[in-house]
């Protein structure tokens, strides 16, 4: 039924009743789903597909722990390239991120620098896409089309789509998603990767979900972290103690200018009707 995908309890009941085998989730909704204590009863599941957002390694870990019979697959791709263009079969690698994998048939991926030159393995650049799946452009928006769909620098007469996503190649050819270019912010002249702060927060056992934003504040932009604790916080004193603990831990692994000024505790992160953050 419309909206049922946003209610984990009803979704679990439906899966168990109908013996559903396959789910396709936006990662934000997957996190809400696997956090429900009754999810382990969905033993009919054999395949869970994720796309639409970066898949947190904690969500992967929870799927492995609570739904061991279900394969987990991470897909990546923008609408401008007929949606999903890379695939990855998730497995425990002991890393702090889930790769987006390798391109599907008839699609090409390139990690390029600002001059459209290929970067070395392990170096972060912008992800470009080529191949059969590319759109022709944006309807009646020639300027935006020219900006995002560029001539291939490889002399093959083809076009590439610039995704605005940061990525890097591993030595085995697998692509790691590193965040959005526009998620890089400058505060007091210092360049900050919001995704790096989120990753450090997600490493804490006390944190189930985390989002960091740069918000206007006194004297300019300030970092604000929005957190969903792993267990409910009893009162204001416990909340303040948790904030102090998290700030101390972040300060041990990040420069002080990357430790959020504000840490707000939420019962859940706000999601759009289709389950995206």
58 three-class SS: helix
CA dist., res. 159 & res. 58, Å (int) = 36
Q: What are the Cα distances from residue 162, in Å, to 52, 56, 97, 134, 273?
A: 17, 24, 23, 11, 27
**Six-digit token string for 103:** 């391109």
Architecture of the domain whose range is 4-76: 3-Layer(aba) Sandwich (3.40)
CA dist., res. 134 & res. 152, Å (int) = 13
Identify each DSSP E strand in the chain by its residue range: 22-25, 47-50, 71-76, 86-89, 102-103, 107-112, 125-131, 149-151, 159-169, 175-180, 184-187, 190-193, 207-217, 220-229, 262-265
Q: What is the pLDDT of residue 191?
A: 79
Within 8 A by CB and 6+ apart from 107, the residues are 81, 85, 86, 129, 130, 131, 132, 133
Domain positions in the chain: 4-76, 102-180, 188-265
Q: What is the pLDDT of residue 84?
A: 93
Assign domain 102-180 one CATH number from 2.60.120.1600, 1.10.3720.10, 3.40.366.10, 2.30.38.10: 2.30.38.10
Q: DSSP secondary structure string, 117-182?
A: PBPPTT--EEEEEEETT-----TT-HHHHHHHEEE-TTSSS-EEEEEEEEEEE-TTS-EEEEEEGG
Query: Model pTM?
Result: 0.76
Q: What is the pLDDT of residue 175?
A: 98
CA dist., res. 261 & res. 218, Å (int) = 11
CA dist., res. 70 & res. 78, Å (int) = 26
262 three-class SS: strand
CB 173 within 8 A of CB 102: yes
CB 111 within 8 A of CB 127: yes
At residue 205's C-alpha, the angle toward residues 192 and 235, to 5°, is 95
Assign domain 188-265 one CATH number from 3.40.50.10280, 3.40.50.300, 3.40.1190.20, 3.30.300.30: 3.30.300.30
Q: Which helix (H) or strand (E) covers residue 243, if one does?
A: helix 236-253
Mean pLDDT per 10-residue segment, the chain (277 residues): 86 97 93 93 97 91 96 95 94 93 96 96 95 94 95 93 95 92 77 87 92 86 94 93 96 93 93 80
Q: What is the pLDDT of residue 181?
A: 82
At residue 176's C-alpha, the angle toward residues 89 and 153, to 5°, is 115
pLDDT digits (tens, 9 = 90+) for 46-60: 999 999 888 989 899
CB 43 within 8 A of CB 69: yes
Q: What is the DSSP-derived secondary structure letter of residue 241?
A: H
CA dist., res. 183 & res. 164, Å (int) = 10
């Amino acid at each position: 039924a419309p909206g049922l995908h946003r209610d984990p309890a009803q979704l679990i009941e439906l899966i168990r009743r109908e013996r559903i085998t396959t789910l396709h989730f936006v990662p934000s909704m997957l996190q809400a789903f696997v956090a429900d204590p009754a999810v382990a009863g969905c033993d009919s599941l054999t395949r869970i597909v994720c796309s639409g957002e970066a898949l947190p390694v904690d969500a992967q870990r929870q799927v492995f722990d609570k739904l061991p019979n279900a394969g987990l697959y991470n897909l990546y791709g923008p609408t401008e390239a007929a949606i999903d263009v890379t695939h990855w079969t998730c497995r425990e690698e002991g890393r702090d991120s889930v790769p987006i994998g390798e391109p599907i048939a008839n699609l090409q991926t390139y990690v390029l620098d600002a001059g459209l030159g290929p970067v070395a393995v392990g170096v972060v650049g912008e992800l470009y896409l080529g191949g059969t799946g590319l759109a022709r452009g944006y309807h009646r928006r020639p300027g935006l089309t020219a900006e995002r769909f560029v001539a291939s620098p490889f002399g093959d007469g083809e076009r590439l789509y610039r995704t605005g996503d940061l990525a890097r190649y591993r030595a085995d050819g697998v692509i790691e998603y590193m965040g959005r270019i526009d998620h890089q912010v400058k505060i007091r002249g210092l360049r900050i990767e919001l995704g790096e702060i989120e990753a450090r927060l997600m490493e804490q056992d006390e944190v189930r979900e985390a989002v960091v934003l740069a918000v206007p504040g006194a004297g300019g932009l300030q970092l604000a972290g929005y957190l969903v604790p792993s267990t409910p916080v009893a009162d204001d004193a416990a909340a303040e103690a948790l904030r102090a603990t998290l700030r101390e831990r972040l300060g041990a692994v990040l420069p002080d200018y990357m430790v959020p000024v504000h840490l707000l505790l939420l019962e859940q992160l706000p999601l759009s009707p289709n389950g995206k953050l």
